[in-house]
Structure 1
């Protein structure tokens, strides 16, 4: 496999019944899993696989993610996910994505930021020293920035969840896609039928482990989507035991066109 192919990786997926939401379309939770799977496949070719990470005594943690979608494929259609790495910026490494439909048109963009941690001490490692990045990165951007989402302010509680076995990833932490699922499960079902998601951004602030109880809260600083039928809403998750903020997220909605 050529070096150029390794720098830019793509996977094509059929939208099956396992991936769609009750409206028959690929939803946020589904697309995040396809993005994760594509990144995983690419990482294996670059020496970032599970066994490689264990041998090197480190693991990567996702710190921020931003996704924008202009349309959501329906069951039976296909989606192509393209991904590449960008050169490190300080301790952070960025992985970016394009999402394309059956015609090759871009229907989505995603940007993610990662930190390398020592598996034993959990200390952040200097990412620029870990790889010959010029050999595996592309110096191009899809135009998205992973922004910081504020934590402070007044919030109202929506739902509570307990971390289960099926929520964990191979590092024994909650899989990043599960946070989005918790938020979606906290939103009234009628809104899912009348609104389409335009963008999703999340900041991961602390680890979540098996048995933790997590409350999902919605910001009170702006009208909620059930009041205005569209707009931007900010969420956060906190551990019930110590009120530690685990994540913040911002979702932008638009009314589904008739």
Structure 2
């Protein structure tokens, strides 16, 4: 689609929280927070003339590489929120995007994210083919206290589960959906942490893609300085790394 007349450099979308998005304590799930952030970012890209279909005209797609989520408060079922997003930088191959959730005008969660332009046939990064001169960048406007970061891949962990990728895990480009990695990991976090909304921040690193029927292991660390580390591995290689601050 061409650049929409509704496109603005800072985009805001309203969302109502539905019961299917909530956990047993009626709060928005952490996975759904991540999903709403990514859906809002995708809509902003659509309005700006860089939708999935336009990117695919050049065999390209935006791929999430890293994200940091900081959570002060999670909304409840039936409540309404606004999600705001803007581009911090875009150098042709990589883009840093900020995303923020607000309730009654007050920020309650935020994300700093790194996206990479991937050639979907060659499976490697390359410069974006679509002109992006119309995009205003906001290098000094942040949604989090800390930027996205690299998760330490050398933490001692133990295997807690094996998993085989199912059809329901896949997205439109036939690899595992970003949110699924987080979902798999959070299933092994103590229930009392989840029930009490005890997670303050999440650092997510997407290192390699997983595909249908891939067999992986999920590994977890002990609590280290109020943080828990989880790795998803295939053939002993880390494909996804997660740091949870509690």
Q: TM-score, length-normalised on structure 1?
A: 0.86
The answer to whether the 8 Å contact 2:68/2:113 transfers is yes
RMSD: 2.0
Aligned to 1:121: 122
Aligned to 2:18: 16
Gaps in structure 2 of 5+ consecutive residues: none
Report how many residues are paired.
Answer: 241
Cα 1:118–1:87 change in 2 (3 A) is same
Cα 1:219–1:165 change in 2 (3 A) is same
Listed one character per residue, the Cα deviations across residues 38-86 of structure 1 (whole Å, up to 9, x for unaligned) are: 1111111122222212212211111000010101111111111101112
Cα 1:131–1:90 change in 2 (3 A) is closer
**In structure 1, what is the Cα distance between the partners aligned to 2:197 and 2:11?**
32
Listed one character per residue, the Cα deviations across residues 178-216 of structure 1 (whole Å, up to 9, x for unaligned) are: 111011112233442245211111111111111012221
Give 1 or 2: higher helix fraction.
1
**In structure 1, what is the Cα distance between the partners aligned to 2:223 and 2:14?**
40
Aligned to 1:141: 141
Confirm or deny that 1:237 pairs with 2:232.
yes
Aligned to 2:244: 251
The answer to whether the 8 Å contact 1:38/1:83 transfers is yes
Aligned to 2:66: 64
**Partner SS state of residue 180, structure 2:** helix
Cα 1:250–1:91 change in 2 (3 A) is same
Q: Tell me which moved more, 55-64 or 134-143.
A: 134-143
**Partner SS state of residue 56, structure 1:** coil
**In structure 2, what is the Cα distance between the partners aligned to 1:20 and 1:195?**
12
Aligned to 1:228: none
**In structure 2, what is the Cα distance between the partners aligned to 1:174 and 1:61?**
12
